[in-house]
Structure 1
Amino acid sequence: MTKGVVPQQLLSPTGAIAIIVGIVIGAGIFKTPSMVAGITGDVGWALTIWIAGSLISIMGALCYAELATAFPHAGGDYHFLTRAYGKNVSFLYGWAKAMVINTGSIALLAFVFGDYMTKVLPIGANSTIYWAALIVVVLTLINLIGIHTSAGIQSFLTILEVCGLLAIIVAGFGIFTAPLPIVENPPLFSSNPQLGMLGLGMVFVLLTFGGWNESAYISAELKGTSKTVVTVIVASLAVITVIYLLVNLALINGLGLKVLASSKAAPAELLGLAFGPLGENLLALFVAIAALTSINATMIVGARANYAMGEDWQGLRKMSRWESSRGSPSIAHLVQGLISLALVGFGALQSDGFEAMVEFTAPVFWIFLFLVGLSLFILRFKDPSVRPFKVPLYPITPLIFCASCGYLAYSSIMYAHSKGAVAISAYVMMAGLVALMYLRLKKSTNN
């Protein structure tokens, strides 16, 4: 292991797209279409929300593309916050990512994986917890082997995940299956949902699109020119948008809006109609693969945030060790894996581990993403260096992105408050302040 070694450009554009698609397309796409259909009660409004969510995500991705091409670094948005606000703010973000954002997402997805794998292959009374803990350990070990192995597995898992979604699309449009019952949907835009309800639907859609921001963490390791980052980000969002729209259209066509809105497992119902009991059983496996894909991708980018913190803070220096032969920050991966396992244990003590992870991760995530959006304006003023890529329609594009992040931050805080979980996020950030003061004190003492 060599100290001081920096990331190299070992990641292909295809591997990068697989990582981004794998992060974004998770278990949410199997649940959100029903929720949006129920909220809007109209095919036209439902599809409009999905398209609007895609456009907002692309706006955010373009903002990140400008920052990533101007300041490529394995620290991703942690690095952008450092340049815009200084080390204190970026440390708190890195702390939040290490303690709740990335590790909470890993634990959340591990519970999803465990829930669905239990339906396929139960392993005892606490099967969900055992599967969740096991997958965290296994994928951490895979990532310790190196970026080539983890990116290769990511590409394979993403293909399987997309195949599962294609099965839904095939079933919904009656391709290669028995004819489906004919359903009738009301005319487009025949109802007028309240603005607040449309906003709630947008919250769920944007959460389902969430994760594209992690592309910034691989900008320093991507092969090609700086503009390759832009191509990778836009191509990833385009693929995701097409898949999401086709899945929604397939569910609406195959089940009808009314059934879709009332169903708790719409994709399972659709596959059951098209392929019989086998289709319903396969869906559990597809959801498990979707969760697995997102866990692995989150681990890849999350460890790089830990690496960046190790570079900046003497007291965390061990996390900055980069193994050039593997293209991997091994200590950062180990730290991430241990915290994720601890959160799996915490979630196991709650009535619903998945819900517990959502409650205390979402508010912190959207607050800091809002700050990253503002950093685009700040860095254009503070550091007007050459930009290989500039976000189109500046400043309108980043303003819309910031407004969306602000709205989601508010909505997630209100949701956490309704569940009595805001205090947990506050305690985590207070602990981060204590850790920051300790590191500052230790640094001044050493000097």
Structure 2
Amino acid sequence: MPRRTVSVPHAKEGPTQSNFGEKDPHKANGDTHAGAPVEKVELRKKVTLLRGISIIIGTIIGAGIFISPKGILQNSGSVGMSLVVWVACGILSLFGALSYAELGTCIKKSGGHYTYILEAFGPQMAFVRLWVDMIAIRPAGLAVIALAFGRYILEPIFMPCGVPETAIKLATAIGITAVMYINSMSVSWTARLQIFLTFSKLLAIGIIIVPGIYLLFKGETKNFKNAFDVNTIHLTGLPLAFYSGMYAYAGWFYLNFVTEEVENPERTVPLAICISMAIVTVCYTLTNVAYYTVMSADELLASSAVAVTFAEKLMGNFSFAVPIFVALSCFGSMNGCLFAISRMFYVASREGQLPEVLSMIHIRRHTPLPAVIVLYPVTLLILFLGDIYSLLNFMSFLRWLFIGVAVVGLIYMRHTRPNMPRPFKVPIFIPAVFSFTCFFMVFLSLYSDPVNTGIGFAISLTGIPAYYIFIHFDKKPKFFQRVSEFMNRSLQIILEVVPAEH
């Protein structure tokens, strides 16, 4: 796609000075850099090791571990086997994370899955991934996390009654708006908030783990008797248990979406990934041990919100705080997810596969403002009008398909680009085992839910004609070109964004 940069007024052309040239102190709105010399407009390297860890942990740990870890128990059939599945899924996720650590250190571009598929297999397959993300996966996923936030932030207010659906959706919309605003205003604000929310999640998990393990050491082991009873283990259900477990660990790849903003990525990316996965695996396993110490397998399966039931049995009135921690956990997942995926849209625009304005940076805030807010209208539309959970059912298998393709790309580039610098290199069996796991889960989706999986696959295929219509054909109608240029220029002026300076 031909690139056309919209020119902006010179800094000395009268009234536009405060927008596109030197800072106007009267319009700084509290910007501490107001009145300073003009700075280079770019995304800065503000993601430190601690911030990188908070992005990964903060997006992995959502509402699931607090609400419904029963899918693994239900499909594994026993307490002992469910704990084995939690540990095994953590190790498999670590394999995927290590594969992405190699990709992130040898391809130092932001964008995650999209960038790696683009580098390995070319623009058409990368665009199909991007297309599915734009029209369904990302807005639906963001809406689901936000709905959990809206429900649990209001639950203490309405206890013991149920929360009205209208109130939930209004709180959800406010949560989405707040996350969009914070990400639009400052990378530092976003990163600091993510660190705070990550520590809040770990505190909540600690409140569950500590009393649970204390009771275990005091001798409360009755629920662990016959933990590996062969009569209850469901071998046929184990693949579904692994599927649930891998979904619970999903999110380890988000740091790779912001590689260009990571300080010293050759060191920070692998280290942040390894530390984060170790912390999450230990936390998930010990949290489930604590649950089983207080609740029997039957009680856990009967609970709709396991952490709430745990708190009611053990802490009495303190249980009202659990929904607040769940809401904060969801908000952290929303924040980290949006911070990461906005960079994918930014990179895709820079590659010419999305409108040019999405690769522009706010002149004062140094945030990719258009890429941050592009999902806002679609997410709100899906929230109030769409069937979110059906969309997620259609698209869940596509996530693992394209992650598997990206990891296969690592193996493929080992042969096609053997001389590529690889500061961090994993043994080949690690990406091989992980990509096999991804494709096995795709096959499992086809087997267990062929209708929804088939619909999702059909939706993804619409990306092929879209690629040829919007990207491949250079000779577009003049009317289309004029409208595109007008929209880019108008949005550039309204949003006060300019192309990044390299």
Query: Structure 1 length as normaliser, TM-score?
Result: 0.90
Question: 1:18-50, CA deviations, whole angstroms, 9 ceiling, x for partnerless residues?
Answer: 111011001111244322223323232111111
Distance, in Å, in 2 between the alignment partners of 1:387 and 1:188 is 44
Give, in angstroms, the shift of residue 413 of structure 1: 4.2
In structure 2, the partner of 1:387 is: 422
- Shift in CA distance, 413/282, structure 1 to aligned 2, threshold 3 Å: farther
Distance, in Å, in 2 between the alignment partners of 1:108 and 1:139 is 14
Is 1:62 paired with 2:98?
yes
Kept in 1: contact 2:407–2:435 (CA 8 A): yes
- Shift in CA distance, 124/52, structure 1 to aligned 2, threshold 3 Å: closer
Distance, in Å, in 2 between the alignment partners of 1:5 and 1:360 is 39
Distance, in Å, in 2 between the alignment partners of 1:264 and 1:314 is 43
Q: 2:322 aligns with which of 258, 270, 283?
A: 283
Distance, in Å, in 2 between the alignment partners of 1:253 and 1:168 is 11
Give the match's secondary structure for 2:224: coil
In structure 2, the partner of 1:104 is: 140
Give, in angstroms, the shift of residue 430 of structure 1: 4.2
Distance, in Å, in 1 between the alignment partners of 2:467 and 2:110 is 22
Give the match's secondary structure for 1:212: coil
Aligned residue pairs total: 434
Distance, in Å, in 1 between the alignment partners of 2:354 and 2:321 is 48
Distance, in Å, in 1 between the alignment partners of 2:413 and 2:366 is 29
Kept in 2: contact 1:169–1:250 (CA 8 A): yes
Is 1:198 paired with 2:238?
yes
In structure 2, the partner of 1:270 is: 310
After superposition, the CA RMSD in angstroms is 2.6
Task: Write the letter of the residue equivalent to 1:207.
Answer: Y
In structure 2, the partner of 1:20 is: 56
In structure 2, the partner of 1:328 is: 367
Task: Write the letter of the residue equivalent to 2:460.
Answer: M
- Shift in CA distance, 324/408, structure 1 to aligned 2, threshold 3 Å: farther
Identify which range, 400-409 or 295-304, moves more after superposition.
400-409
In structure 2, the partner of 1:295 is: 334
Question: 1:384-436, CA deviations, whole angstroms, 9 ceiling, x for partnerless residues?
Answer: 212101013x1x11111011111222333455545x5742x345424433331
Is 1:212 paired with 2:284?
no
- Shift in CA distance, 432/5, structure 1 to aligned 2, threshold 3 Å: farther
Give, in angstroms, the shift of residue 51 of structure 1: 1.0
In structure 2, the partner of 1:93 is: 129
Q: Report the structure number with the largest CA radius of gyration.
A: 2
Kept in 1: contact 2:45–2:260 (CA 8 A): yes
Task: Write the letter of the residue equivalent to 2:342.
Answer: A
Give the match's secondary structure for 1:322: strand
In structure 1, the partner of 2:500 is: none
- Shift in CA distance, 344/422, structure 1 to aligned 2, threshold 3 Å: farther
Give, in angstroms, the shift of residue 441 of structure 1: 5.1
Identify which range, 78-87 or 5-14, moves more after superposition.
5-14
Listed as ranges, the matches of 1:64-143 within 5 Å are 64-121=100-157, 126-143=166-183
Q: Which runs of 5+ in 1 are unaligned?
A: none
- Shift in CA distance, 441/369, structure 1 to aligned 2, threshold 3 Å: closer
- Shift in CA distance, 244/372, structure 1 to aligned 2, threshold 3 Å: same
Distance, in Å, in 2 between the alignment partners of 1:344 and 1:52 is 35
Distance, in Å, in 1 between the alignment partners of 2:62 and 2:354 is 35
Question: 1:156-205, CA deviations, whole angstroms, 9 ceiling, x for partnerless residues?
Answer: 11111111111111332347xxx997744323423252332111111111
Kept in 2: contact 1:47–1:245 (CA 8 A): yes
Query: Structure 2 length as normaliser, TM-score?
Result: 0.80
Kept in 2: contact 1:148–1:326 (CA 8 A): no
Kept in 1: contact 2:362–2:369 (CA 8 A): yes
Distance, in Å, in 2 between the alignment partners of 1:51 and 1:372 is 24
Kept in 1: contact 2:112–2:256 (CA 8 A): yes
In structure 1, the partner of 2:438 is: 405
Task: Write the letter of the residue equivalent to 1:405.
Answer: C
Task: Write the letter of the residue equivalent to 1:89.
Answer: M
Identify which range, 407-416 or 333-342, moves more after superposition.
407-416
Kept in 1: contact 2:77–2:234 (CA 8 A): no
Distance, in Å, in 1 between the alignment partners of 2:473 and 2:417 is 30
- Shift in CA distance, 414/296, structure 1 to aligned 2, threshold 3 Å: farther
In structure 2, the partner of 1:11 is: 47
- Shift in CA distance, 221/273, structure 1 to aligned 2, threshold 3 Å: same
- Shift in CA distance, 125/271, structure 1 to aligned 2, threshold 3 Å: closer
Kept in 1: contact 2:68–2:306 (CA 8 A): no
Kept in 2: contact 1:171–1:271 (CA 8 A): no
Is 1:261 paired with 2:309?
no
Task: Write the letter of the residue equivalent to 2:289.
Answer: L
Kept in 2: contact 1:100–1:360 (CA 8 A): no
